[in-house]
């Protein structure tokens, strides 16, 4: 380990800790240990593997407050969100702890013998995690992978290694055998790239930007290595005039400004039917003005800072002057990478604020005239991850939810990610699905065996 990284608290700009980074040789050594651990982990009896995962979930549960505090310090997440995130990790591990005894194949009728399918684990799974939700996104990859009998090497984002490192300690405390679940802090271009290139890594689970995802996919193509990609989004929140406008406006801020907009599911485009536009905007302005942007460690805070100075520069570049700003919320002065909730009303449908993922607390509002136009604008994006539809007309809710090209939609709410339902994107938002009952199968190969009765 040759280099180190100073973790910075984004709310104070103070150094939190210094982390040793894995280099290429250390990464290869970890992959080799993982490969050896796989030979025994895959043989652990299903009931024992399940029990170890339940113990891991219990260890996370007991450590929730500490994990949450680490995330506040490392990532600037509000303490309320960070507690939910730690609880989500516990729930995801607990949910997939039921997998080992239920990884059931089929017995298919044939003549002359018996035909059976097996779901065989793949081997070493390389999980590459972004900085925006370090805890949940990690668990969505590692938990079903481990449950299906694989071992895991996981790279947190360089900016946010702390909770991932703690989760690796908790796994060991819970009794998972050494090297079954390893966390390798390091750079994407070193550790992440090594996961892609190493012939000993059987599959990549990548969550991050579409640009890097494209490189990962190309790298995996060289080895026909399977890959799951969870990438960017530019999701639409579509508000019809027949909806409960007050509720739609009151909930629209959290749908885009939660986690300071650093959410792949952020509803960063709001499409409002023209006849309700003025009513919506008046109520939305009130709601945006009420968003509490403050110290993330405070229980009352609803939005914290952005992750880094560089990211704040990037977000700021989408708001070069006040020309398109309809209204803004507030943000603290002083140290910290703060950016106020910002509402834009672009007039050019080609404006980049309507097409590029800003990944900050910036939302663009556009009017539409009818259902067909709403669907057309919602689909005018390379992305297709999430979205919301507000209407009291059930027929319209059915038509529009079927019409929008997106993996995760909600009607009259903004909920999107439940660990027991599938999650993933259409178009440039990704490849494959995570979570839900089928996720473990994405970490297996189906083997068909025919036993002759002669």
Enumerate binding residues for ligand NAP (CB under 6 A).
Answer: 128-133, 137, 155, 157-158, 187-189, 192-193, 196, 207-209, 212, 215-216, 230-233, 264, 357, 359, 385, 425, 429-430
**Residue recorded with tokens 């960070």:** 82
Shortest Å, Cβ 193 to ligand NAP: 4
Q: Whole-angstrom Cα distance, residue 51 to residue 99?
A: 11
Q: How far is the CB of 454 from ligand NAP (least distance, A)?
A: 50
| Helix 46-62 × helix 64-75 angle, to 10° | 70
Is residue 105 within 8 A of residue 131, CB to CB? The reply is no
Burial 283-322 (b: 16+ CB within 10 A, else e): bbbebbeebebbbbbeeebbbbbbbbeebbeebeebbeee
Which is closer to ligand NAP, CB of 212 or CB of 331? 212
Active site residue 264: yes
- Is-contact 237 271, C-beta < 8 A? yes
> Shortest distance, CB of residue 313 to ligand NAP, whole angstroms?
14
Cβ closer to ligand NAP: 149 or 186? 186
Supply the minimum distance, in Å, between the C-beta of residue 110 and ligand NAP.
Answer: 40
Active-site choice (71, 220, 264, 265): 264
Least Å from the CB of residue 265 to ligand NAP: 7
Catalytic residue among 230, 273, 357, 434: 230
Closer residue to ligand NAP (CB): 385 or 439: 385
**Would you tell me the crossing angle of helices 134-147 and 79-96 to the nearest 10 degrees?**
10
DSSP 298: S
Q: Is 220 an annotated catalytic residue?
A: no
- CB closer to ligand NAP out of 277 and 423: 423
Of 265 and 331, nearer to ligand NAP (C-beta) is 265
Cβ atoms of 335 and 13 within 8 Å: the answer is yes
Crossing angle, helix 79-96 and helix 46-62, to 10 degrees? 170
Of 205 and 276, nearer to ligand NAP (C-beta) is 205
Q: How far apart are CA 139 and CA 93, in angstroms?
A: 7
Contact 88, 137 (CB under 8 A): no
Residue 232 C-beta: closest distance to ligand NAP, Å: 4
* Structural element, H or E, at residue 451: strand 444-452
Active-site residues: which are they? 230, 264
């Amino acid at each position: 380990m040759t280099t180190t990284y100073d973790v910075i608290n984004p709310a104070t700009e103070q150094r939190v800790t210094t982390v040793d980074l894995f280099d290429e040789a250390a990464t290869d050594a970890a992959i080799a240990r993982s490969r050896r651990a796989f030979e025994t982990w895959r043989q652990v009896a299903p009931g024992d593997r399940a029990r170890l995962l339940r113990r891991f979930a219990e260890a996370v549960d007991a450590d929730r407050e500490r994990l949450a505090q680490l995330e506040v310090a490392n990532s600037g997440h509000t303490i309320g969100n960070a507690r939910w995130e730690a609880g989500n990790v516990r729930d995801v591990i607990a949910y997939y702890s039921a997998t080992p005894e239920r990884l059931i194949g089929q017995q298919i009728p044939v003549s002359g013998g018996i035909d059976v399918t097996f779901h065989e684990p793949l081997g070493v799974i390389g999980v590459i995690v972004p900085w925006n939700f370090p805890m949940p996104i990690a668990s969505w990859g590692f938990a079903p992978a481990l449950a299906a009998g694989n071992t895991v090497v996981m790279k947190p984002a360089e900016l946010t290694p702390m909770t991932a490192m703690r989760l690796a300690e908790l796994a060991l405390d819970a009794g998972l055998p050494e090297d079954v679940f390893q966390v390798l802090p390091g750079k994407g271009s070193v550790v992440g790239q090594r996961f892609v290139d190493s012939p000993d890594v059987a599959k990549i689970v990548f969550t991050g930007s579409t640009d890097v995802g494209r490189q990962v996919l190309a790298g995996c193509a060289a080895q026909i290595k399977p890959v799951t990609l969870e990438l960017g989004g530019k999701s639409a929140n579509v508000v019809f005039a027949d909806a409960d406008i007050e509720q739609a406006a009151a909930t629209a801020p959290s749908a885009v400004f939660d986690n300071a907009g650093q959410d792949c599911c952020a509803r960063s485009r709001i499409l409002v039917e023209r006849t309700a536009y003025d009513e919506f905007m008046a109520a939305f302005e009130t709601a945006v003005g009420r968003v509490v942007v403050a110290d993330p460690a405070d229980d009352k805070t609803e939005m914290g800072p952005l992750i880094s100075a560089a990211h704040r520069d990037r977000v700021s570049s989408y708001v070069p002057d006040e020309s398109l700003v309809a209204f803004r919320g507030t943000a603290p002065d002083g140290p910290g990478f703060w950016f106020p909730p910002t509402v834009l009303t672009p007039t050019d449908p080609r404006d980049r604020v309507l097409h590029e993922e800003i990944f900050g607390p910036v939302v663009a509002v556009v009017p539409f005239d009818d259902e067909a136009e709403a669907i057309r604008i919602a689909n005018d994006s390379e992305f297709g991850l999430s979205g919301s539809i507000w209407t009291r007309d059930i027929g319209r809710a059915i038509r529009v939810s079927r019409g929008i090209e997106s993996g995760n939609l909600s009607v009259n709410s903004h909920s999107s990610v439940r660990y027991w339902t599938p999650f993933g994107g259409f178009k440039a938002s990704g490849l494959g699905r995570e979570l839900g009952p089928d996720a473990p199968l994405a970490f297996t190969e189906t083997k068909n065996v025919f036993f002759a009765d002669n």
